[in-house]
Structure formats: C-alpha cells, structure tokens
C-alpha cells in the first residue's frame, strides 16, 4: 500500500487526494513514505496551522486560521517537500484559494514538492479534476490483528483488574475477519468495549464484537445493518437447507482456502410468502457470526440520471469494505421488476440488473448473498444459473412435523410449556398454514385467553385457526402454480 503512494509522489504528481476519515492511519502512512524518500513532511489544519509532522506545536511554521498564508509560504519555500492539508475541500470554493492552488501546481512540479489533500468528505468538482486520487483502503487482517494485540496489552497495563485472554488462533482469525470494514481507531474501540465488559478476551466476545460493529456502522445509504439475534432452533423444518448451510459454515476461513475451497457465494430462496425466507438470512448471519446487511431496493432508484447506478455501486462497495458479511436482498424480483420486459424507465432496471449480475459473478470478497423472491415469473433466467448462486432452494408450506416445531417455538417464546399443549393436534388443524400465520394464531389466542382471564390452552389456538383463512386458500391458484413450477427446478428446503 505504501509503495503505490510512494510511486505517486516520486512520479511528481503535484496534487494527491486521499478521501478518508482515518486521519491517524493516513498520516502514519505518509510519515513512512516521507522517511523512505528522505523528504520533509509538513501538515496544515485550520486550527493548528502549518507545522512539521509529529511536532507538538512549538515549531509552527504558519499560524492557524485562513489557508492563504500557508499557500503563499509553500509558493516561496517549497523544495522537495510533502505538504498535507486536513479538510481543505471547503476552502477551495474560495476564488483566491482555488487560483492559488492552480498556480502551485507549476511550483510543485518545478520544486518536486507534493500537496496531499486529506479530507473526510469528497472534494468539490472545482479542484477534484486536478488531483490524483489515492485509495487508502481499509486495514488488512495483519493490521487489525495488531490492533487487537496492542489494545489488549494497553488495557492489561492500565487496568486495576486482572485482564485475561484465552483466544485461539482460529478464533483470532474469526475476530479479525469480523472487524473488516472498520478503521483502526474503530476496531480499537470495539475490542476495548469487549474486553472491559468482563475483563477478558475470549470466544464469547465474537458475537459481541459483531453486534458492536453493527451498532457502530448503523445504516448507510442503501444498506441497513440488521440485528441477527436468531439461531437455527428458531426455524421449524427446512432441514435440507439447514444441513446445506451447516456444511458451508467454515467456508470463509483460511483452512478452507488452504484446502482448495472457494468461498460460498450465496443462495436464492424462492417460495410461499411467510414461510421463513427472510428469517433464514438472520439465522445464517448469527450462526456464522457475520454482520448482516440488508440491501433496500426502495432507496436505489433516484430521479437524476446516473444517480441510481451510483447508489448501487456505492452499496456494493460498502458491502465489500465491511466483508465478511451476509448481504440480504429481500424480494429481489421487485427491485429489478422491469429488467425482463419493456418499461418506461429508459432501460434503467436492465442496467442496474446488469451491474448486480456482473458484480455477483466477479467479486472475490467474503460476502454471502441471500436473495429471496416470491414471484418467480419476474426473475430473469440469468439470475438463477450456477455461478451467481451456489444453490436455488424452494421453501414450501411447512409439513405437519415442521408445523409442530413452529408451534413449539412460538409457545416457548411466550413463556409457556409445550407439554401443556397437544402439538400434533394443533399441527393437524393448521394444515395449509405458513409459519407467519401459525405465529399470529398463537398471538391471537393469547389475546383471547387474556380477555377471558384464562390461561392459554389448545382450544384458544384451535379457535383462532378455525377463524383464519390462510394464504394457501386465499391465493390457492398462484401457490399451486408456484409449487408446480418449482417441482423440478429447485432444491426442496425441507
């Protein structure tokens, strides 16, 4: 990473732009490059002015305030020097600053000096076209592992309590992978929070770190960080899908790569609405101890030309930066509904869909995609071929055994004992019900029992089941057509 920046400076590029919020890491990298090249490194900020890098303020060259005096100083004194400007972008809209920077391009070329613009926000177009962009990137696994070790040593040295560690090499690798997409400073805070919670660093901190990362990153653009607080026992049935996912649980580890395995790419889940497709995404993220990101198709489409495609590219780039993650695309057919037919959007859906397909085929990041769909007729054939997804599963209405498990799950979740209920009888009465409808039957039965000042019993649930017309009855023709279509095309999830 330092070699590329070194080459940009050696090549005589007068203006280099680094867009990053991780100032400390960027300055450390620039310090290493300046030392290697044997060039002085000075940094400017609005508050502290121009001073040598690493100076405590006693050696200030130009006092803080307006940037114009610093630019004039560079024009008169630059000589094979690297100057770093913090957050100069807003100042470049001033006509004098803009013109002075343009003049300095010739000065820097003649004196072999370089101006580095280190900004947290994108530079204005007025100056961006004159810069060479350098991507700082995110800390790699080696840097993050060093952050974990340094943070542990610091806390152990400072704490009045005994701080212990019992983390294995494999758990360390998993922890480091979980922190991908964080800056070094953010990773340090996440690790410190996990250690201070119980003054220990062990395997129990892995889910805590994943949750801390989700909270820290929150939501951004078209991606929403979702809490994955479920496990495989929260889903009834789907045994074939559970077994398939279990076999691929370690597919993102170093051992899998050394064994010759490629990382799993994802699954497409078709099926009857309300049968647990969305829940599966949360269970996979929780079971694999990975962050869960949901791509919101509603935010993708913007009114200005080119902005929608940009939104999608930014979302995919963010997912790559945060990898390893589970990327959940819910109801994918609605996001790209016009990609298979003529529409009035000028081909926007087709272009968006092409961008997504190309990325799914070519990316090599540890990202597991879970796409769900209810309407198979809106899905283009190129989405379903091997290479985009590892497998296409069909999630049907739950069997009688699965319905028993679903009743058991929802009854236990309401702090009731399953032994007090006739689960086989309830499962038989719920023929044709999906998982969501079974849950609502239990919830409605609880309300009925509460209104009667009685304890929840079989008769309350049976009464609610009898009152409900399930989706398999209301939309029987469409569901029969869906099941017939999937019979020889998809792998049964149960």
User: How many residues appear in the chain?
Assistant: 494
CATH of the domain at 9: 3.40.50.300
Beta bridge partners of 374: none
Q: Are residues 249 and 381 in the same domain?
A: yes
DSSP 264: P
- In whole angstroms, give the CA distance from residue 211 to residue 477: 43
Q: Which two tokens mark 165? A: 């560690």
Q: Are residues 256 and 378 in the same domain?
A: yes
What are the CA-CA distances from residue 485 to residues 245, 365, 481 (Å)?
24, 33, 6
Number of domains in the chain: 4
Q: Are residues 129 and 208 in the same domain?
A: no
* Residues in Cβ contact with 293 at an 8 Å cutoff, skipping those fewer than 6 apart: 223, 224, 225, 226, 318, 319, 322, 325, 326, 327, 328
- In whole angstroms, give the CA distance from residue 194 to residue 186: 13
Domain range holding 186?
Answer: 141-217
180 in Cβ contact with 323 (< 8 Å): yes
Q: Are residues 13 and 122 in the same domain?
A: yes
- In whole angstroms, give the CA distance from residue 445 to residue 448: 5
427 in Cβ contact with 400 (< 8 Å): yes
Would you say residue 491 lies in a domain?
Answer: no
Query: End-to-end distance of the chain based on CA atoms, in angstroms?
Result: 48
Would you say residue 371 lies in a domain?
Answer: yes
Cα–Cα nearest to 245, from 272, 269, 210, 270: 269
Burial label for 369, CB within 10 Å (0-12, 13-18, 19+), is buried
Q: Are residues 148 and 119 in the same domain?
A: no
Give the DSSP H/E element, type plus range, for residue 326.
Answer: strand 325-329
CATH of the domain at 442: 1.10.8.60
Q: Are residues 205 and 332 in the same domain?
A: no
Burial label for 360, CB within 10 Å (0-12, 13-18, 19+), is buried
Would you say residue 479 lies in a domain?
Answer: no
Cα–Cα nearest to 272, from 488, 427, 483: 483
**Alpha helices, H only, 228-293:** 239-247, 254-259, 277-287
Instruction: For residue 161, count other CB atoms closer than 10 A to its CB.
Output: 11
Q: Are residues 389 and 274 in the same domain?
A: yes
- In whole angstroms, give the CA distance from residue 15 to residue 460: 73
Q: Which two tokens mark 82? A: 């690297």
Would you say residue 191 lies in a domain?
Answer: yes
Q: Which residue has the tokens 């609502």?
A: 440
Would you say residue 484 lies in a domain?
Answer: no
Would you say residue 480 lies in a domain?
Answer: no
Q: Are residues 372 and 255 in the same domain?
A: yes
- In whole angstroms, give the CA distance from residue 321 to residue 351: 23
Domain boundary among 395, 429, 463: 395
- In whole angstroms, give the CA distance from residue 301 to residue 310: 10
Q: Which two tokens mark 455? A: 């304890």
Check residue 179 and give its pLDDT.
82
Q: Which two tokens mark 380? A: 């283009």
- In whole angstroms, give the CA distance from residue 263 to residue 364: 8
Domain boundary among 134, 165, 183: 134
165 backbone dihedrals φ, ψ, rounded to 5°? -145, 130
What are the CA-CA distances from residue 117 to residues 22, 68, 102, 106 (Å)?
13, 15, 14, 17
Extract the residue ranges of the chain whose pLDDT is less than 70. 1, 56-58, 214, 216-222, 297-309, 335-348, 376-378, 387
Q: Are residues 440 and 319 in the same domain?
A: no
* Residues in Cβ contact with 260 at an 8 Å cutoff, skipping those fewer than 6 apart: none
Would you say residue 165 lies in a domain?
Answer: yes
- In whole angstroms, give the CA distance from residue 285 to residue 225: 11
Check residue 380 and give its pLDDT.
73
What are the CA-CA distances from residue 466 to residues 352, 406, 432, 455 (Å)?
45, 18, 12, 19
Would you say residue 486 lies in a domain?
Answer: no
Q: Which residue has the tokens 């101890």?
A: 289
Give the DSSP H/E element, type plus range, for residue 85.
Answer: strand 82-86
- In whole angstroms, give the CA distance from residue 448 to residue 487: 39
36 backbone dihedrals φ, ψ, rounded to 5°? -65, -40
Check residue 71 and give its pLDDT.
92
Check residue 16 and give its pLDDT.
93
Q: Are residues 387 and 417 in the same domain?
A: no
- In whole angstroms, give the CA distance from residue 69 to residue 63: 9
Q: Are residues 387 and 408 in the same domain?
A: no
Q: Are residues 275 and 361 in the same domain?
A: yes
Domain boundary among 104, 134, 164: 134
- In whole angstroms, give the CA distance from residue 468 to residue 460: 13
Check residue 56 and give its pLDDT.
63
Cα–Cα nearest to 67, from 82, 81, 52, 87: 87
Cα–Cα nearest to 137, from 188, 181, 185: 181
């Amino acid at each position: 990473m330092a070699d590329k920046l070194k080459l940009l400076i050696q090549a005589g590029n007068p203006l280099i732009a680094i867009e990053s919020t991780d100032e400390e890491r960027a300055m450390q990298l620039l310090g290493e490059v300046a030392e290697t090249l044997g060039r002085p490194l000075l940094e400017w900020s609005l508050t502290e002015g121009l001073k040598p890098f690493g100076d405590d303020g006693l050696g200030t060259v130009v006092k803080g305030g307006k940037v114009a005096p610093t630019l004039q100083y560079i024009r008169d004194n630059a000589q094979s020097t690297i100057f770093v400007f913090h957050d100069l972008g807003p100042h470049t809209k001033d006509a004098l600053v803009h013109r002075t920077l343009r003049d300095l391009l010739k000065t820097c070329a003649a004196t072999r000096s370089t101006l580095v613009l280190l900004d947290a926000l994108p530079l204005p177009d007025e100056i961006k076209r004159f810069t060479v962009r350098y991507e700082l990137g995110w800390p790699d696994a080696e840097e993050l592992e060093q952050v974990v070790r340094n943070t542990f040593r610091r806390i152990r040295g400072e704490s009045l309590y005994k701080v212990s560690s019992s983390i294995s090499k494999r758990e360390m690798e998993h922890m480091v992978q979980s922190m991908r997409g964080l800056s070094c400073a953010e990773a340090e805070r996440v690790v410190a929070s996990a250690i201070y919670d119980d003054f220990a660093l062990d395997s129990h901190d892995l889910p805590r770190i994943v949750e801390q990362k989700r909270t820290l990153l929150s939501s951004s653009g078209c991606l929403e960080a979702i809490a994955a607080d479920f496990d495989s026992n929260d889903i009834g049935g789907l045994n074939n899908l559970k077994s398939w996912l279990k076999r691929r649980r370690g597919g993102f580890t170093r051992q899998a790569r050394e064994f010759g395995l490629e990382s799993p790419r994802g699954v497409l889940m078709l099926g009857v609405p309300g049968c647990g497709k969305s829940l599966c995404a949360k269970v996979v993220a929780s079971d694999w101890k990975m962050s869960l990101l949901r791509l919101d198709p509603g935010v993708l489409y913007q009114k200005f030309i080119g902005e929608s495609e940009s939104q999608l590219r930014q979302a995919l780039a963010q997912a790559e930066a945060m990898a390893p993650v589970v990327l959940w695309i819910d109801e994918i057919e609605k996001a790209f509904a016009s990609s298979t037919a003529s529409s009035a959007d000028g081909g926007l859906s087709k272009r968006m869909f092409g961008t997504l397909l190309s990325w799914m085929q070519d990316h090599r990041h540890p990202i597991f995609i879970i796409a769900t769909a209810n309407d198979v007729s809106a899905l283009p054939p190129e989405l379903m071929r091997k290479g985009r997804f590892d497998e296409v599963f069909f999630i049907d209405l739950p069997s009688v055994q699965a319905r028993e498990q679903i009743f058991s799950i929802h009854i236990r979740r309401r702090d009731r004992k399953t032994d007090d209920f006739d689960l086989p009888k309830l499962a038989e009465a719920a023929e044709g019900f999906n998982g969501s409808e079974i849950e609502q039957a239990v919830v409605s039965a609880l309300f009925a029992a509460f209104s009667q000042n009685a304890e929840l019993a079989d008769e309350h649930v049976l009464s609610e089941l009898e009152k409900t017309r399930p989706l398999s009855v209301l939309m029987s023709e469409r569901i029969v057509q869906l099941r017939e279509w999937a019979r020889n095309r998809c792998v049964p999830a149960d």
